[in-house]
Structure 1
């Protein structure tokens, strides 16, 4: 199966890593990125739409048809943000994009990057974890082929430009963490490869923790 994928968040660390994996993978034929600013990446497979209102996709809606996968890597940190604002920029934004894509491409595989500690019960103590859990639950209801990815510490792909500063400073910890706590450490290459494989061959679980997508990447 060949993939025509939409990627959001490609100017962030996770999205850029997934994009780079898609551009080199033989099963990915076309990639469309929706960016708020130019990503600075050029490739024969790649098309870029510059657009900044993810709450109103109607002006670009017809350009989003004909894709069979979405790798949703767009997200914000809850640090310093009020609960309602975080919910608006996480749950509301993601579901607005997802509902548009489900209408245009009902059979697409939708993969969503949430994070380790996400609360599927939506009742836990941490607000961000409840919001992520609610987002996951809604997406699982919306798409018959939906996969939720919960990464921990991620090692950047070589050549990445968009790497969070603390990941650069703590990169030396990766081999130690991977050896001592493999359930919390993975590479962005593994994440990207596993996302591609959910679209080509699927996976037996719809919520993938680190150990799941590392195993899927090796298949």
Structure 2
């Protein structure tokens, strides 16, 4: 499997990258990003595109061709942003990349990391939820083999996964013990970056029952791994 990964330097994306590199059926991970990643794994192909977030056309066709699965983990906090600013990053950038990918790799499975509370009606009062829902709906209309949107809620970073947002890093540092307990007591509600990565790989392999997966369905997908396809 050849995987295209966007957002590998973030907390969720870093966790997904780790699971991809551990998966024996993943032959190559093409990471498109603005800065270099520390991993030297031979499976990882880093494509440094410093301006792609402003001008996604700077991503050449070769980065988007012969892709079996795309894990789209790019995302920003809406805090302090206008709806126009948030839409530019969350909706327009995502669709600009996804539309080209669907033309160049139509047999790919596209898995989009959305968020708990995303508003599929696009009519709600919460700005970020409307924009996320609008993005999901637009992705579902693209001619990929499969499109799934995952909506994790509470996430515990594992294996040195770190958020790029300062306030989130503080939250995770202070709440680490509570998250560990929460994951033990409510494993289908408090998801780890490890579980999210494993679930996304399963969606690429076999799909899922529904286009949108909330936390319990994400957890169930991760546990559905058949014998012989586990991590190395």
Band of TM-score, shorter chain: over 0.9
Is 1:199 matched with 2:197? no
Name 2:134's counterpart in structure 1: 134
Q: In structure 1, the residue corresponding to 2:75 is in which secondary structure?
A: coil
Is 1:170 matched with 2:175? yes
Aligned pairs, number: 217
Decide which moves more: 189-198 or 54-63.
54-63
Name 1:13's counterpart in structure 2: 11
Work out which of the residue numbers 169, 187, 190 in structure 1 matches 2:195: 190
Name 2:2's counterpart in structure 1: 4
1:20-99 → structure 2 map (5 Å cutoff): 20-51=18-49, 52-54=51-53, 55-58=55-58, 60-99=60-99
CA contact 1:155–1:174 (8 Å) conserved in 2: yes
CA contact 1:16–1:162 (8 Å) conserved in 2: no
Name 1:120's counterpart in structure 2: 120
Question: 1:84 and 1:119 mapped to 2: Cα distance?
Answer: 17
Question: 1:16 and 1:22 mapped to 2: Cα distance?
Answer: 10
CA contact 2:68–2:108 (8 Å) conserved in 1: yes
Question: 1:217 and 1:103 mapped to 2: Cα distance?
Answer: 29
Shift in Å, 1:175 = 3.2
Structure 2 unpaired stretches of 5+ = 225-232
CA contact 2:69–2:204 (8 Å) conserved in 1: yes
RMSD, aligned CA: 1.6
Question: 1:178 and 1:61 mapped to 2: Cα distance?
Answer: 41
Question: 1:176 and 1:69 mapped to 2: Cα distance?
Answer: 33
Question: 1:182 and 1:65 mapped to 2: Cα distance?
Answer: 37
Shift in Å, 1:176 = 3.4
TM-score relative to the length of structure 1: 0.93
